[in-house]
Structure 1
Amino acid sequence: MEAFAGRYVLIDLVGTGGMGSVWRAWDLRRKGYVAAKVLGQHDAATLLRFVREQSLRIEHPHVVAPHGWAADDDKVVFAMDLVRGGSVATLLGDHGPLPASYVAVLVDQLLHGLSAVHAAGIVHRDLKPANLLLDATGTAHPRLRLSDFGIAGLLDEPRMTRHSTILGTPGYIAPEQMAGADPDPRQDLYTVGAVAAELLTGERPDIHGNLPAGGDDLLWDLIRLLTSADPANRPDSAAATGRLLAKTGLLPPAGVTPWTMAPDPPEVFDQLPPLPPAWTPAGPTPAAPPLTATPTPGPADASPPPTAARMPRATDAAPTPAATPTLRPADAAPPLTSGGAVLAAAGRRRPQASGVEGAGRMGPLAWVAVGSFGGAAVLLVAAVWLLLR
């Protein structure tokens, strides 16, 4: 398991962005999953966008901003919260036009996020459905997260030239932004109106900024106000726009989801693929403990077999025989072998000389090792020998 720059383990590719690829990754420092945007073969412009985006440190429930970064060789990466429900663009593709109350909730959350961004002295300049991420909440209240600050502009930032390259996505850019005006929060508010119109109709603004025809209600009145060609006619802040949105009466009370009464309510699914086999929701799969080989016992460790009486070993000392009765020469027992075992001869009786000499001339032999049973075995052999005489 190799970690990028010693911190981020890239697991699987989940998307691509304007600056590079986006991966699901495991943050070894935070011990959690993150979205890691990886920038590869970069030029000065894309590197500047990367530096600008990763430098943002905005903590807000409706903003996804980088919280860490790393560099390794010719690649750089920054990490942010992993949002599982795809984007508003994904939702539009799955569902089509959204109910007005649902759109009002999304726009309200977007305005809250923009209030925090503008308060930090930043203008996003690239609001569009693909940059509005969603948590996977099903048919419950959606949760929008504003992301992708790659071309964000800073208020009161010195301009190197008055005719710099136009940054943004055609159709969502305010007219004065197209003309090269300095960053201004009202440019983002223009885009909020353009996005709201698309959510209601499912139609994207054309490259000239022409919006779809709207209805005659308070929400469309607000959209037309936001998309005024003259920025002076627009609300002066995201907070002021939020107050106007509240006056439409479309924002449902907390916990109420009026769109679920429709035959086909909007539903935000989990868009991430299943984790690879080596990963679990809690992190990497724990490694199996190494197998421990059972040691082979040596001669000194060998245990006797589980029998009632242990067989003698070569290292055992010969047992001390019990006392035996004194026999006459004619009644003497067969001799003892060098190993202490008494060897008894059995078979057909043959004519023989007296004494021990006759024992070596007896018929077929069946040798039985009995020495380890002590003096009782000696007596038994002697008795057999006497009967065979």
Structure 2
Amino acid sequence: MASTNLVVVTVPHHPRQVPGPGFLVAGRYRLRSKLGGGGMGAVWLATDQLLEREVAVKQVVSTEGLTEESASDVRSRALREGRMAARLSHRNAIAMHDLALESGEPWLVMEYLPSRSVAQILHTTTTLPVAYAAHIGAQVAAAMATAHSEGIVHRDIKPGNILIANTGRAAGTVKISDFGISRAKDDIANVESGVITGTPAYFAPELARGGEPTEASDVYSLGATVYTAVEGEPPFGVDEDSLVLLHRVARGEITPPTRAGDLTPALLAMLEPSPGRRPTMAQARDQLARIAAGPGGNVGAVLQSPLPRNDSAIPIWGLSGRSSTRSNRSAPRTESGLPAARVLHPTSARPAAGPAPEPTPPTPTPTPSEPVAGPPAPPTPPTPPTAPTLPISPAVIGVGAVILLVLLMIVLVVAL
């Protein structure tokens, strides 16, 4: 029996380079540092070497190790996000610059906005004044009204996706970001039946019950976001168990707002359980802008201007969150131990409604019939007496001179 020699040929495997600082995407975008991550992938600060500008580059989840069908789905989602964002051009929306391919992997190239998200700001302040929350909501609604006119539904409006520029001339500018799960109303490709995408705490009830996302569900999510900004937590509270929270959302029974003040009617309209009874995004924009402007204020300025800055306090976009690497030890602190910047009092913003602090009772002034309680004060040591000092006027000096002259004349007469 003849023997058979089995020859095994080993093909060297060249793993893909792991993206990191210095990595060059599509021969053009040089990665510098990671800005954050999300459900669709990491976001990097990069330099566009062709145009010599800073950009944000979003690395879509790698397709390595996936089946061809799954990899195709990931690429399709990235292309859809790029197309959706590119269709939207608005001063309050992050702009899409490019869709780059690196080793077959899609990367989204977007406007870079040095900023803090509303979620990061709330992590520091807990709540925002009513006028600030209305101003932010009005500008996001303005961008989303344009998106809806283009047939785009965002599907994930929440505090973490709303950015406020914190440096330079753009400081205070509000922008909605992350159209990663957005889609056009008529885009039926790659829609998985029965899969709910988004953040449950900001869901509309119809989504929690398995309905399709619509413009009305975006209005609800924005209302839930503004509610969170003034109340300190989402309208359905918080729960680590997403299913428990989802059932709560499906019932549509929100916790009534207690701090929203003039904003309450607008919030309740946006958080209406029935989608057909909610305002449109354009109507919500106008109502929020009127509240932010205040009686007799300029509604147009609210929609076109950055958030107002209070010169006597740190602006909200300059506050450092607890997760920030920058120390807050140098910040002035109140008697409760909290940073003084935690309490915001913008000059153009009305304070959030809520129970007024109890006035401090005046300290009673003791009378002779009401001795002061407590240990007696130590006696004050006596002050050594000092010789009285009498003022000498010019008249006294004159009289003295006359007397002296008379005495001299008498002495001379007697001597003679």
Question: Which TM-score applies when normalising by structure 1?
Answer: 0.63
Give the equivalent residue in structure 2 for 1:304.
none
Aligned equivalent of 2:206, options 170, 176, 193: 176
- Output the aligned Cα RMSD: 3.1
Q: Quick one: structure 1 residues 144 and 4, their matched pair in 2 at CA, closer, same or farther if it must change by over 3 Å?
A: same
Please give the alpha-carbon distance, in whole angstroms, between the structure 1 residues aligned to 2:29 and 2:155: 29
* Bigger radius of gyration: 1
Give the equivalent residue in structure 1 for 2:181.
151
Give the equivalent residue in structure 1 for 2:132.
102
2:224 matches 1:194: yes
- Map Cα deviations across residues 108-128 of structure 1 (whole Å, 9 max, x no partner): 101111011111110001101
Please give the alpha-carbon distance, in whole angstroms, between the structure 2 residues aligned to 1:17 and 1:162: 20
Structure 2 counterpart of 1:21, which letter?
A
- Map Cα deviations across residues 284-305 of structure 1 (whole Å, 9 max, x no partner): xxxxxxxxxxxxxxxxxxxxxx
Aligned equivalent of 2:46, options 9, 25, 36: 25
Residue aligned with 2:115, SS: coil
Give the equivalent residue in structure 2 for 1:226.
270
Matches within 5 A, 1:166-315: 166-204=196-234, 205-206=236-237, 207=245, 208-209=248-249, 211-215=254-258, 217-235=261-279, 237-248=280-291, 250-251=293-294, 253=298, 254=301, 260=310, 266-268=316-318
Structure 1 counterpart of 2:54, which letter?
Y
Deviation at 1:266, TM superposition (A): 2.5
Q: Does the 8 Å CA contact 1:99/1:200 hold for their aligned counterparts?
A: yes
Please give the alpha-carbon distance, in whole angstroms, between the structure 2 residues aligned to 1:160 and 1:83: 30
Question: Is 41-50 or 186-195 further displaced after alignment?
Answer: 41-50
Q: Does the 8 Å CA contact 1:102/1:259 hold for their aligned counterparts?
A: no
Residue aligned with 1:125, SS: coil
Structure 2 counterpart of 1:240, which letter?
Q
Give the equivalent residue in structure 1 for 2:81.
53
Residue aligned with 1:171, SS: helix
Structure 2 counterpart of 1:232, which letter?
G
- Map Cα deviations across residues 64-86 of structure 1 (whole Å, 9 max, x no partner): 14210211225321110111112
2:150 matches 1:120: yes
Q: Quick one: structure 1 residues 175 and 7, their matched pair in 2 at CA, closer, same or farther if it must change by over 3 Å?
A: same
- Map Cα deviations across residues 162-216 of structure 1 (whole Å, 9 max, x no partner): 9431111112111122233333211100011100110002213432335443137
Please give the alpha-carbon distance, in whole angstroms, between the structure 1 residues aligned to 2:155 and 2:92: 17
Please give the alpha-carbon distance, in whole angstroms, between the structure 1 residues aligned to 2:272 and 2:54: 42
Give the equivalent residue in structure 2 for 1:368.
none
Larger RCO (CA under 8 A, 6+ residues apart):
2
Aligned equivalent of 1:68, options 81, 98, 102: 98
Residue aligned with 1:224, SS: helix
Residue aligned with 1:52, SS: helix
Aligned equivalent of 2:111, options 74, 78, 81: 81
Deviation at 1:140, TM superposition (A): 9.6
Give the equivalent residue in structure 2 for 1:285.
none
Give the equivalent residue in structure 1 for 2:382.
none
Q: Quick one: structure 1 residues 264 and 270, their matched pair in 2 at CA, closer, same or farther if it must change by over 3 Å?
A: closer
- Map Cα deviations across residues 88-119 of structure 1 (whole Å, 9 max, x no partner): 11111122200111111101101111011111
Give the equivalent residue in structure 1 for 2:396.
none
Structure 2 counterpart of 1:22, which letter?
V
Q: Name the count of aligned residue pairs.
A: 273
Deviation at 1:159, TM superposition (A): 6.9
Q: Quick one: structure 1 residues 258 and 14, their matched pair in 2 at CA, closer, same or farther if it must change by over 3 Å?
A: closer
Q: Does the 8 Å CA contact 2:164/2:171 hold for their aligned counterparts?
A: no
2:18 matches 1:10: no
- Map Cα deviations across residues 7-59 of structure 1 (whole Å, 9 max, x no partner): 11111111112111111001123220000001242344433321211112122
Q: Quick one: structure 1 residues 62 and 152, their matched pair in 2 at CA, closer, same or farther if it must change by over 3 Å?
A: same
Give the equivalent residue in structure 2 for 1:130.
160
Q: Quick one: structure 1 residues 261 and 225, their matched pair in 2 at CA, closer, same or farther if it must change by over 3 Å?
A: farther
Please give the alpha-carbon distance, in whole angstroms, between the structure 2 residues aligned to 1:245 and 1:2: 44
Q: Does the 8 Å CA contact 1:39/1:77 hold for their aligned counterparts?
A: yes
Identity %: 30
Question: Which TM-score applies when normalising by structure 2?
Answer: 0.59
Residue aligned with 2:33, SS: strand
- Map Cα deviations across residues 296-325 of structure 1 (whole Å, 9 max, x no partner): xxxxxxxxxxxxxxxxxxxxxxxxxxxxxx
Question: Is 216-225 or 29-38 further displaced after alignment?
Answer: 216-225
Matches within 5 A, 1:304-383: none
Please give the alpha-carbon distance, in whole angstroms, between the structure 2 residues aligned to 1:257 and 1:192: 18
Please give the alpha-carbon distance, in whole angstroms, between the structure 1 residues aligned to 2:40 and 2:190: 23
Structure 2 counterpart of 1:158, which letter?
I
Structure 1 counterpart of 2:59, which letter?
V
Task: Write 1 or 2 for the structure with the bigger share of helix.
Answer: 2
Please give the alpha-carbon distance, in whole angstroms, between the structure 2 residues aligned to 1:183 and 1:229: 14
Please give the alpha-carbon distance, in whole angstroms, between the structure 1 residues aligned to 2:32 and 2:170: 30
Deviation at 1:161, TM superposition (A): 7.5
Deviation at 1:256, TM superposition (A): 9.9
Please give the alpha-carbon distance, in whole angstroms, between the structure 1 residues aligned to 2:224 and 2:216: 13
Please give the alpha-carbon distance, in whole angstroms, between the structure 2 residues aligned to 1:221 and 1:63: 26
Please give the alpha-carbon distance, in whole angstroms, between the structure 1 residues aligned to 2:325 and 2:39: 21
Q: Does the 8 Å CA contact 1:142/1:268 hold for their aligned counterparts?
A: no
Please, which runs of 5 or more residues in structure 2 have no aligned partner?
Answer: 1-21, 64-69, 238-244, 327-416
Residue aligned with 1:149, SS: coil
Deviation at 1:134, TM superposition (A): 1.5
